[in-house]
Amino acid sequence: MNKVLLLFLVVFYSGFPSKGIGSVSTRPLAVNIGAILSFNSTIGRVAKIAIQAAVDDINSNPTILNGTRLKISMLDTKLSAGFLGIIDSFLLMERETAAIIGPQYSVMAHVISHIANEMQVPLLSFAATDPTLTSLQFPYFVRTTQSDLYQMTAVAEIVDHFQWRDVIAIYIDDDHGRNGVSVLGDKLAEKRGKISHKAPLNPGNITREEINSALVKIALMQSRVIVLHIYPSFGLDVMHVARSLGMMVNGYAWIATDWLSTLLDSNPSLFTTQSINDIQGLITLRMYTPESETKRKFSSSWNKVSKEKDPAEGPFALNTFGFYAYDTVWVLASALDAFFRSGGTLSFSNDSSLNMLRGGNFELDSMGVFLDGEKLLKRILEVNRSGLTGQMMFGQDGNLVHSSYKVINVIGNGIRRIGYWSETSGLHTGESPNHSISGDGLYGVIWPGQTTQTPRGWVFSSNGKPLRIGVPLRISYREFVSRTEGTEMFGGYCIDVFTAALSLLPYSVPYKFVSFGDGKTNPLNSDLLHMITAGAFDAVVGDITITTNRTKIVDFTQPYIESGLVVVAPIKKLKSSAWAFLTPFSPMMWFVTGMFFLVVGAVVWILERRINDDFRGPSRRQFVTIIWFSFSTLFFSHREKTISTLGRFVLIIWLFVVLILNSSYIASLTSILTVEQLSSPIKGIESLVISNDRIGFLRGSFAENYLTEELNIHRSRLVPLNSPSEYEKSLKDGAANGGVAAIIDERAYMELFLATRCEFGIVGQEFTKMGWGFGFPKESPLSIDMSTAILKLSENGDLQRIHDKWLTRSACSSEGAKQGIDRLELNSFWGLFLLSGIACFIALLCYAIRMVYRFSRDSNSNIERSSHSDRLRSFLSFVNEREGEDTYRPKRRRKEKCSCRKVVQKGGSLDDSTVSVHIENNPSAQD
């Protein structure tokens, strides 16, 4: 009975090793772990020593695993990234290995991860940087180094920082190279860049001929920015061939991934060899590991450790992957400790599907599934500790958090840090990757060719093939584009701008103009642009309007002329009338102004009459004074003086008002009389849209779609026209006679059309804002350089001079015509002269009537009858006397009149002298 119970307990314990009995399990004395490395590689040689050192440090400290020791088996793949790695993984699985450190290569990791998934054995790789390994397809793969996802993001930001758009990628044609370059393409696309050419190299044995063939092809291409994503063992060979082909000179930019920094760190003697000349001016990345005391101690003891562990190789330098290999072992140890504390056991179960493999030397049927492998994997991903490389902690995607890189530049016999890149801070020049204090960007770079000038990143192709430039063969408006009869040469405004811009480029561009069109009708610009996408043309030059739809198929340069849509219609010139002087003020304005003249005059009279003799006298005289004073303020010629403070206050305010009224009147009247007034029944695009009139447009122009789609004008109202002569005829006929009411076309065309046709004009405002540009294929660097050249033409005045040469036509707005408009004629003022003449005539008539009336009154009271001649002389004498009377009337007239009368009444005598003196002082006394 006891035997049966004991057997039951053994079966129960073996069948459920990871369940509820974990709390009573004991730690094993040793844990089998494996490592798959390439001992002779740059990374593997360092990693082998670092892993062994980490195992020794852990085993020498019993507090880490509480007495459990790590038993490691390291297998050499002999620089093979495939078959030998698979065999090594099988060998490790036979030994009931709890975890495998490695593999070193991403290609091998793809294969072994499938085996690890079946056996539930975690893989901890410190060197497989392929970003696709963290997908759901490989749940048991754990990357304990930084992914190429972040490295390629850093490369893309470097490319964007220097404003490059095209790069060429040279890479090893395996999972490591292809997947890394694929991520680079995605990151560049996010920044509107691209990989223009990919140059894969054989992952097996790369020959010098293969490298030379790839680089010769690259040298003939336009892009001069090259990203080299390769293994350290082949990188220097590529750079040596590149230097021999003249690809390490001014104008080139090389960006190497972390293979170069790894190689330089592992072999410092390279700085003293000829190989350093092959990599001058390169930019490379190095995984950032913060400085710490443990890192410093490990680095200082490295020479001693490496000599002890591998005396045959002798001491060699430590690289970043060595730090990560060391930390990987510690991550595994920390996870194993947590695994055992949580009740995990090292139990393996044979897989029945492997029974068919029984026999042979490998004994594959003996491989067992790690029953608690998933639990150990979970503990690995939960590790959070500080190591030589900084914080070792995994994110949700299985990658290490806080990935960062140091950007370095190879200069002379050393390297120089020019910046950092990190997930959180991007590219910057701060003191550390995650603390940017100096702003975005990088320090100055010494580029290939020992120059500090940033390469343009692109040059015109040196394969000798000229650019095929498509030019529309126009039959109208030949001032813009025209072909010289009998030749293949072109001229015109657009052609001159293009050739002037080309002359400003820092490189020569061979080109050839190719006409497009049948020479009978104007070709469609949209068809011409589609020839670029078809590969028939390398660029298009002409009167090409930049529109939204067209920018989707080609890239345009900076606009070199503005040309929005305008409305052209027949106009009439309005001449100013004889009563134009009344036009500046409306009738109500005239009425209110006149009333205020009277009101102000009355107010001043009220304020002044009690203290000012100028505002006193008979009622008739006071009324005249009010009228005279108020209206004389218009000319500041009033002779009456104001004495009261209130009167002066009112007068000051009123004079200011009169000043404004007078200035406004003069300005408005000047404009009316000197500016040409034009009239048209069409006021602009708004009035044209709501009418039912027919509208003309240039056949093939984008204006047709704009009018129908944007302004909802029915197509039946649109009349396609082919030439300026048809424009003129249709406008003269008018909509009522089968013509059109207006033409809608681009301003550049219409200015030429109106230059010699003064009976038409632009009405309303320009209702679109567009421009003309040169078209190039999508992502063409030439479009960017040409845009810069066009801006230079605009700044130095050459663009305006070209415009004046071809497009200045001023027949309708010449200086003579302008002088004719400014010269004023009599018919604009005869109304004023008429008013003045009528006023003079009425005044003289009134004066004559009054004089006749007074003469007749005085002559009737005269007793003596005189002859007709005497009467005439007497009348003229009377008139002269009355003029003196009207001119001067002393204020004390009545008193002076009575002085003679008083002398007589008092019995005095009036001698002749007394009377003459009195009459001289008082002419009115002769009455």
CATH topology of domain 148-289+404-428: Rossmann fold (3.40.50)
List phi, psi (to 5°) of 871.
-60, -40
pLDDT digits (tens, 9 = 90+) for 561-595: 998 899 999 887 655 666 767 777 788 877 877 78
Q: Is the pLDDT of residue 356 over 80?
A: no
Amino acid present at 923: P
DSSP tally for the chain: helices H, then strands E: 31, 33
pLDDT of residue 859: 73
Transcribe 855-893 into DSSP letters.
HHHHHHT--S---HHHHHHHHHHHHHHHHHHHH---TTH
Backbone phi, psi, residue 838, to 5°: -60, -40
- pLDDT: which is higher, 343 or 912: 343
Helix, strand, coil shares, percent, the chain, to 5: 50, 15, 35
Identical fold between 30-144+291-393 and 467-563+772-797? no
Average pLDDT value for residue range 201-215 = 90
What is the model's pLDDT at position 891?
43
- The pLDDT-based confidence of 21 (bands split at 50, 70, 90) is very low
Percent of the chain with pLDDT over 70: 79
CA 299, CA 53: separation in Å to the nearest integer?
12
pLDDT band of residue 98 (cuts 50, 70, 90) is very high
Contact 400, 380 (CB under 8 A): no
Distance of CA 548 to the CA centre of its chain: 16
> Tokens 């304020």 appear where?
607
DSSP string for 504-533: TSSS---EEEEEES-SSSPPPHHHHHHHHH
> How is residue 695 written in tokens?
């509208």
Cβ contact 115:91 at 8 Å: no
Per-residue pLDDT tens over the stretch 125-138: 999 999 999 878 89
Q: In whole angstroms, what is the distance from residue 379 CA to residue 341 CA?
A: 11
Q: What is the pLDDT of residue 866?
A: 52
Closest CA to 329 of 397, 387, 373, 382: 387
Rg (CA), the chain: 52
Q: CA 580, CA 311: separation in Å to the nearest integer?
A: 112
Residue type (1 letter), 324: Y
Scanning 619-754, the segments in alpha helix (DSSP H) are 619-632, 645-674, 685-690, 703-705, 724-733, 747-754
Which pLDDT value is given to residue 80?
Answer: 64
| Spatial distance between the Cα atoms of 63 and 52, rounded to a whole number of angstroms | 19
Q: What is the DSSP string of 547-610?
A: -HHHHTTSEE---SEE--EEEEEE-EEEPPPTTGGGTTS-HHHHHHHHHHHHHHHHHHHHHHTT
Band of pLDDT at residue 480, cut at 50, 70 and 90: very high
* Confidence (pLDDT) at 163: 87
CA 75 to chain centre: 57
User: What φ, ψ does residue 191 adopt, rounded to 5°?
Assistant: -110, 25
What percentage of the chain carries pLDDT values higher than 90? 41
Element (H, E) at 71: strand 69-76
454 phi, psi to nearest 5 deg:
-65, 130
Average pLDDT rounded to a whole number, residues 263-281: 90
Q: What is residue 458's three-state secondary structure? A: strand
Higher per-residue confidence, 755 vs 848: 755
In CATH, what number does 679-769 get?
Answer: 3.40.190
Phi/psi at 468 (5° precision)? -95, 110
Task: Select the more confidently predicted residue: 693 or 94.
Answer: 693
pLDDT at residue 331 tops 90: yes
- If you write DSSP's letter for every residue of 405-457 in order, what string do you get? EEEEEEETTEEEEEEEEETTTEEE-SSBTTB--S-BS-----BTTTB-SPP-S
- The whole-angstrom separation of Cα 565 and Cα 571 is 18
- Which stretch of 47-51, 371-375, 574-578 has the lowest confidence by average pLDDT? 574-578
**pLDDT recorded at residue 187:** 95
Least confident of 60-74, 131-145, 843-857, 911-925: 911-925
**Which residues make Cβ contacts (< 8 Å) with residue 275, sequence separation at least 6?**
236, 239, 240
Tell the CATH topology of 30-144+291-393. Rossmann fold (3.40.50)
627-652, pLDDT tens digit by residue? 777 777 776 556 667 777 777 777 77
**Top-ranked range on mean pLDDT: pick from 414-418, 488-492, 580-584:** 414-418
Cα(227)–Cα(180) distance, integer angstroms: 11
Distance CA 238, CA 720 (A): 62
Closest-CA residue to 595 (of 183, 192, 575, 587): 587
Helices (H), 129-231: 148-161, 175-190, 208-219
467-563+772-797 CATH, one of 3.40.640.10, 3.90.550.10, 3.40.190.10, 3.40.5.10: 3.40.190.10
Going by their DSSP bridges, the two strands 384-387 and 390-393 should be labelled as antiparallel
Report whether the peptide linkage leading into residue 311 is cis, meaning its omega lies within 30 degrees of zero: no
Structure tokens at 86: 């698979």
- H or E segment at 268? none
Q: Collapse the DSSP code of 624 into the 3-class scheme (helix H, G, I; strand E, B; otherwise coil) and give the result.
A: helix
Asked if pLDDT for residue 23 goes beyond 80, the answer is no
Residues in CB range of 398: below 8 A, 6 or more apart = 134, 141, 142, 143, 381
Contacts of 52 (CB under 8 A, 6+ apart): 72, 74, 309
Q: Taking the domains of the chain in order of start, what are their residue ranges?
A: 30-144+291-393, 148-289+404-428, 467-563+772-797, 587-674, 679-769
Three-state SS sequence of 759-811:
CEEEECCCCCCCEECCEECCCCHHHHHHHHHHHHHHHHCHHHHHHHHHHCCCC
Give residue-wise pLDDT tens across range 889-925: 444 444 444 444 444 444 444 444 444 444 444 444 4
Q: Give the tens place of pLDDT for each residue, 755-779.
A: 888 888 888 888 888 899 999 998 7
Strand partners, 572: 679
Chain centre to alpha carbon of residue 58: 58
CA pair distance 46, 39, nearest whole angstrom: 8
More confident residue, 811 or 371: 371
Task: Say whether pLDDT at 458 is over 90.
Answer: no
User: Residue 83 and residue 842: Cα distance in Å, rounded?
Assistant: 126
Of 185, 238, 52, 41, nearest to 127 by C-alpha is 41
